[in-house]
Amino acid sequence: MKDSVVRGCLLQVLYERQDEGSIPFGHVEQAVPPPGGISRRDWLRAVAQLSEYRVIDWTPVQDKSEMGLLSGFAKINDLGIKVLEGGVALPIPDFHRREPTNQSSSAATSADRNDYAATADS
């Protein structure tokens, strides 16, 4: 499955659960499992990517196993909400913006990415 689709699914989950605050991901108790068809590795890579681009707020949990396992708590932030609601595009190539109803998705255009870059520079 394409990274952009996985990121879109993850962002949609966080959008739908935003009233819960930060929710667990990775190797912690009650972590949100990936939907069917998405591997745990891809799911956690999407968490890392969205955090890197500051679309979600991520609070890591120390890996006590010393195996480098990603664990922590995530919540969608204002930029993530704007991305999903169509206000701005995410500057990650091939990102699929999902409608809040989860009925359809569309790829962000290069014009959208340029609009985001102009907004981010202001």
* Domains delineated in the chain: 3-121 (1.10.10)
Answer left, alpha or beta for residue 56, where phi above 0 means left and psi between -120 and 50 means alpha: beta
HSE-up of residue 6 (Cα within 13 Å, Cβ side) = 20
pLDDT at 101: 42
> Tokens for 83?
């991305």
pLDDT at 93: 64
pLDDT at 64: 75
Does the pTM of the predicted model rise above 0.75? no
pLDDT at 94: 56
Partnered with residue 73 across adjacent β-strands are: 24, 59
Q: Which portions of the chain are predicted below pLDDT 50?
A: 95-122
